[in-house]
Structure 1
Amino acid sequence: MSLLVLLTNTGFESVAGSALFTNTQVPVFLSGAVLMSMVCALCVAKQATLRLSYIINAFIALALLSFHPPYIELLLALATVTHVWLVSKQNNWTMLSISFAAALCFLILYAANGLVALPIHWLVVATLILASSGYFIDEEPADDIEPNAVVNEHALTLSPLASFPNRTQLQAYFYHWREEAPHMGALVIIRLEGFAEVNQHIGRDFGDLLLAQSANRIKELLMLDEVVSLGSSEKLAHLGGLNFAFICSLDNQNHLHEQLIDRILGATLKPFNVANCTIEVKARASFVKCDTDEVSFDSLISHAYLALDSQPNKQIVAYQQHMMVERLEQQARLKELASIDFSSELELYFQPIIRSADENIEFLELLLRWQHPKQGILSANRFIDDIRIAGLAYPLAEFVIERAAELIMALRMEGIKMPLSINVFGSEMLNEEFISFIDQVFNEHKLLPGDLIIECPLEVFLNLDAQGKAMVARLSSQGVKMCVDGLGDSPVWLAKLPNLAVEYVKVAPSLTADFSQQGHIRSLVSGMVEMHNQQNSKVICEGVETQEQLNFANSLNVFAAQGYYFSHPLSSVGMITWLKQWQIEHS
């Protein structure tokens, strides 16, 4: 107030009436100045909240200069105070000082407007000062990855992981530890995940810093005498990429390595806030016992990696001997698949789907079998993943559909009208080439609508985008009926299915395998069946092997059932004979 009195006594009122303060071109000049200064501030500001604050202040200031709506100066005051509050959280004293100066300037100019009739557009000067605070934003610390983190020039020029022992050092200390005395121990590999988003949004350099900080969290948990030292105070080795390892002695505690893994996985769950992105770092672990002197270090590392890769959905994996056997078998199968002849080595079996109402056949499901030269007849679940890895999913789908069309024609020539269903992975049918192939098969083999049914895993239907739904609709318009296979993992997912043209829905065998011991199974499955009955989808109960399971399925009002109770899978070579015999027995 004393400042205002002083200004008044020195003739401030006469100055306010001068040409400078009353010139009508001043608002135009101030508008341009606000626009230019805010654009510059926005180019410098990195945080979204500060950018939004600058935009709001500029918008209100321009509104005040243009048409001065009621109470606009109060709104500008609120925006200025909010900006000061946001800047106070940045730990940048230069920005904070300038922002406070802008707020003080606003108060003085607003008071001058009330006391000496200073034109209201001069309040925008405070906004110009506020915008200038953005030019000092680069004075913030370069490291905002984690509180209390310190990044020096040496860390920026060298890899943040350079201080960790590498694989060669880990190997040397492993052999040294084992030569000292016989030990019971475990080699543990920790694989960190979730860094793809970091590298994408803020760059590889910051990703490495975040990786190093995650590794430091792990290292702090390993400061025990039982963890083998790798020189000085180091306990954790960096194997490369996102993989770390340590060796744990089990001489005193047989399960110490498992306890350490649990602590490490819990510590890595704490999220990081990096450049306005909340990053969740996850971890997986595998371990292999190293209690014999005969096993080499390279074998232990290989076994630990194999455990991680063989079960990607498990967080903690212990290496088992059968994993190596399965890997060798898979490698052999992949080698054989590279030169496989579908027509001579693959065969289609069939299994009937029996309607509950009249016990007649609704359709036959074709099941793929591999006549393996060494392992005999293999069901599809034994080699289906290998088909994907070998890149044979689409060619195999074409082979199966072509063979199914030939079987449909053969049945029709015998006077038997029987739809056939085939199983596909799902992804191969969501492209234009597949749609064209189906259309070609229908035309060449004179198939009728409903002759061919495509069974697809539930996961495919749950993850369909707009284009995928359009592909499914086109298949339906061509006369192909769709069947959801494996329903039963979660009833919440059912809400995603009504928009699809699904003719059949198969309930997973796991829901009826042990229903007699689980009272909640009946209500769960019953709710699924009722929901799909209301959607005009025909529910099929899979895995029916006994009369009790069939009675349970019928009590749920399912449309049909399938399983060993009716028939084991049979070779399609005898399909016509089997169908004629079935018709005779059930006529």
Structure 2
Amino acid sequence: MSWFSQCGWIFAWTLVVSDVIAKESAEQGNVMPQNSWLAFDAAHGAAIAVALLLVGSLIYLRLQLSKTRRQLKKALAQPLPRGWTHDELTGLPNARLLQTRVQQRPLPGSAGAVVMFQIREFEQVNRLLGYQHGNLVLTQIAFRLNDLLEKYPQVLVLESHPQLARLAHVGGVEFACFVDLTEQTHLADVLVRDLLRAAPEPLMLHGGVIDYRVDAGIALMPQHSADVTQLLQQARMALHQSRWHQLAGNMEESCVYTPELTQFNQNRLAMMAQLQQAVVQQQLQLDVQPQIDLMTGELKAGEVLVRWQHPTQGLLLPKQFIPLAEELGILYPLTCWVLHQALDVLQQLHQAGEQIQIAVNVASKDLMQPEFVEYVVEQLTSRQLPPKLLVLECREDALLQDPPRALAMLNRFSELGITLSLDDFGTGYTSLGMLREMPIDQVKVDCQFISDIHRSDAQAAVTGAIIDMAKNMQWQVVAEGVEEQAAAETLARMGCQRGQGYYFSRPFALKGFLPWLRQYQHHHPANSPQTNAFGPQ
């Protein structure tokens, strides 16, 4: 029905209502005054006025609706603003365009995978270079990843003009692409391995070299979800899970999402909240494990080990919560707290006339903090402790992430006289040429090379080669995981100077180090490990 017909009906019904009112008034015997025709015409006039008002309103609404339709049609005919579908910083497609392109595939429900990439610890780049230069670095990394994807035609092209883009910037330091798996079901895994190996090539910026690392996660369509937004969330969970395992030392863990990760993620978030409370409620405890001279049986040092006495899960080892502390951003204050407590005990030993070293593990992230050097100096100076009694242990990854910076920081510690130890030696990928330049005083041979050294000729050969190499580099050698007397004897014959493990002592409370030392000295005035009667504790 047209708007003109609707107006006519409204006017007609108004007249009908007026007639009905007038007739009812006459039937009730109401006497009409002399000018009743005026009153009757007034009633009709009022009705007409109301009708005209309604008609005018309807006409106005129809005109506005018609205008709105024309404006909407004009807007739809114009292309969307680029900011709606692209990232302003890198110019790459965003998550919205990625979702649109996936939905526009010829076979929208066919097998595929969302692969997410995340630049690890990029906040350090922003802190060191500033956000403006940090944005330049992020853009360079983004285009490098996008270029590396060109060799895979199965990766969905998101746009071809003004540049060929297969990668989407989905937020922060996260990027994603979509891989068609209809012909090669394991292509996503292959792609991730290739990119994680090729992508972290150092970047040049204003004459400086910038190193970075990339993490990845995979979610599958349609197994995990048919919605791109959901797949991005699942790939992010897989990415964090993969990184968690890497920080815990499990380098071969898969980065593909599984439904169990949802529960894992919830548990991890709960553990994060509990860890923050653990620091306040003093649930963290410090243990120490002695290091014994394999030739004389003397106590030479003790390694400080942090544990978490969880209220429901019991005693948790560092690899179960240190990655959480790193994600929470509380690893540095936690390291400073451990160092403070360790130096308190070292001061007790020193005042008792003992020249025993205390070893503290330092994460690569903390080792690179310029303020950490000042904190160490301040703590040593305030207690009047010889710097050589403090041993700082770091893993090889501290040297790999930023070798020039690592060398500069280690040189500062070395110049102060602090002993530097390389933990888990033999398990990393640091080149000997790089290690030769580092001011390392000591290496700790990982327990995987020690456990069967007295039973396996092959393991003995490998461990012997590691010890010989370290001795040629003039490094002191500490063997971890010594659990049997035969292993201690074999290591002593190979020329390994120190041993650490259950054969000598299990870890015990740090505060009890001095009493333990006195008891050990009483039972072992100058024994060799061959006649060690103290045994496992």
| Counterpart-to-counterpart distance in 2, 1:373 and 1:363 | 31
Please report the RMSD computed on the Cα atoms of aligned residues, expressed in angstroms. 4.8
Q: Does 1:323 align with 2:323?
A: no
1:263-312 CA distance string (max 9 Å, x none): 7679989x99xxxx9xxxx996624586699x988655533432233215
Counterpart-to-counterpart distance in 1, 2:190 and 2:145: 22
- 2:466 aligned counterpart, secondary structure: helix
For 2:189 and 2:429, the matched residues in 1 are separated by 31
SS in 1 for 2:431: helix
User: What does 1:406-417 align with in structure 2 at a 5 Å threshold?
Assistant: 406-417=344-355
Q: Cα distance, 1:360 vs. partner?
A: 1.5
Gaps of 5+ in 2: 1-78, 87-91, 123-132, 158-165, 205-213, 247-251, 526-537
1:167 maps to what in 2?
A: 99
Please point out which of 535, 539, 543 is paired with 2:473: 535
Change over 3 Å in CA distance of 1:466–1:568 after alignment to 2? same
Q: 2: distance between equivalents of 1:209 and 1:569?
A: 46
Q: TM-score, normalised by structure 1?
A: 0.55
Q: CA deviation at 1:357?
A: 0.4
Q: 1:359 to 1:339 in 2, by over 3 A?
A: same
CA contact (8 A) 1:545 1:563 kept: yes
Cross-structure match for 2:20? none
**Aligned residue in 2 for 1:243:** 176
In the alignment, does 2:393 pair up with 1:455? yes
Alpha-carbon offset, residue 402 of structure 1:
1.4
After TM superposition, give the deviation of residue 212 of structure 1 in Å: 12
1:524 paired residue number: 462
For residue 583 of structure 1, the aligned residue among 518, 521, 525 is: 521
CA separation of 1:519/1:247 partners in 2, compared to 1, >3 Å: closer, same or farther? same
Please show how residues 385-396 of structure 1 align to structure 2 within 5 Å.
Answer: 385-396=323-334
Secondary structure of the residue that 1:311 maps to in structure 2? helix
AA of the residue aligned to 2:463: V
The answer to whether the Cα contact below 8 Å between 1:192 and 1:284 also exists between their aligned partners in 2 is: yes
Q: Counterpart in 2 of 1:218?
A: 154
Deviations 1:405-443 (A, max 9, x none): 211222344454422111111332344422222222222
Alpha-carbon offset, residue 336 of structure 1? 3.1
The one-letter amino acid of 1:308's match is: L
Which of 364, 371, 377 is the aligned partner of 2:302? 364
Residues 289, 507 of structure 2: 8 Å contact kept:
yes
Q: Relative to 1, partners in 2 of residues 1:213 and 1:310: Cα closer, same or farther, differing over 3 Å? A: closer
Equivalent position amino acid for 1:469 in 2: L
For residue 318 of structure 1, give the secondary structure of its aligned residue in structure 2.
coil
Q: How many residues align?
A: 393
Is the 8 Å Cα contact of residues 408 and 420 (structure 1) preserved in structure 2?
yes
Q: Does 1:303 align with 2:228?
A: no
Once the two structures are superposed, residues 35-76 of structure 1 have per-residue CA deviations (whole angstroms, 9 ceiling, x without a partner) of xxxxxxxxxxxxxxxxxxxxxxxxxxxxxxxxxxxxxxxxxx
Find 1:286's aligned residue among 218, 223, 237: 218
| TM-superposed deviation, 1:173 | 9.8
C-alpha distance in 2, partners of 1:455/1:476?
A: 13
- Relative contact order (alpha carbons < 8 A, sep ≥ 6): 1 or 2 greater? 2
Is 1:485 aligned to residue 412 of structure 2?
A: no
Select the residue among 264, 267, 283 that pairs with 1:345.
Answer: 283
Secondary structure, in 3 states, of the residue corresponding to 2:474?
Answer: coil
1:190 and 2:121 are equivalent in the alignment: no
In the other structure, the counterpart of 1:434 is 372
Q: Which residue of 1 aligns with 2:29?
A: none
Equivalent position amino acid for 2:99 in 1: R
Counterpart of 2:450 (choices 512, 515, 520) is 512
Query: Which range is displaced more, 510-519 or 361-370?
Result: 510-519
Question: Is this contact kept in 2: 1:214–1:268, CA < 8 A?
Answer: no
Number of the residue aligned with 2:499: 561
CA separation of 1:246/1:499 partners in 2, compared to 1, >3 Å: closer, same or farther?
closer
Q: In the alignment, which residue of structure 2 is the partner of 1:496?
A: 434
Matched to 1:286, the amino acid is I
Q: State yes or no: 1:334 paired with 2:259.
A: no
- In structure 2, the partner of 1:258 is 185
Change (3 A) 1:477 1:301: closer
Instruction: Report the Cα offset of residue 359 of structure 1.
Output: 1.4
Alignment deviations for residues 385-416 of structure 1 (CA, whole Å, 9 cap, x no partner): 12222222322222122111211222344454
Q: Identity of counterpart residues, as a percentage?
A: 21
Residue pair 2:113, 2:218 contacting (<8 A) in 1 also:
yes
Larger deviation: 543-552 or 440-449?
Answer: 543-552
- Structure-2 change in CA distance of 1:186 and 1:315 (3 Å): farther
Decide whether aligned partners of structure 1 residues 498 and 521 sit closer, same or farther in structure 2, where only a CA change above 3 A counts: same
- Which amino acid is the alignment partner of residue 471 of structure 2? N
Q: 1:399 aligns with which of 331, 334, 337?
A: 337
> Residue 137 of structure 1 corresponds to which residue in structure 2?
none
> Cα 1:200–1:359, aligned 2, differ >3 Å: closer, same or farther?
same
What's the CA shift string for 1:490-514, capped at 9, x where partnerless?
5872332233332221011122235
The 2-side partners of 1:369 and 1:186 are apart by 45
- CA, structure 1 residues 518+302, in 2 after alignment: closer, same or farther (shift >3 Å)? farther
Q: Which runs of 5+ in 1 are unaligned?
A: 1-153, 178-184, 222-235, 250-255
Counting only pairs closer than 5 Å after superposition, residues 221-236 of structure 1 correspond to structure 2 as none
CA distance in 1, matches of 2:350, 2:512: 15
Displacement of 1:557 in angstroms is 1.4
Contact kept in structure 2, 1:284 and 1:315, CA below 8 Å? no
Q: Which residue of 2 aligns with 1:124?
A: none
After superposition, give the CA deviation of every residue in 1:433-484 in whole Å (9 maximum; x if it has no partner): 2222222222221212422211111222455655543443332343321111
Q: Is the 8 A contact 1:462 1:497 kept in 2?
A: no
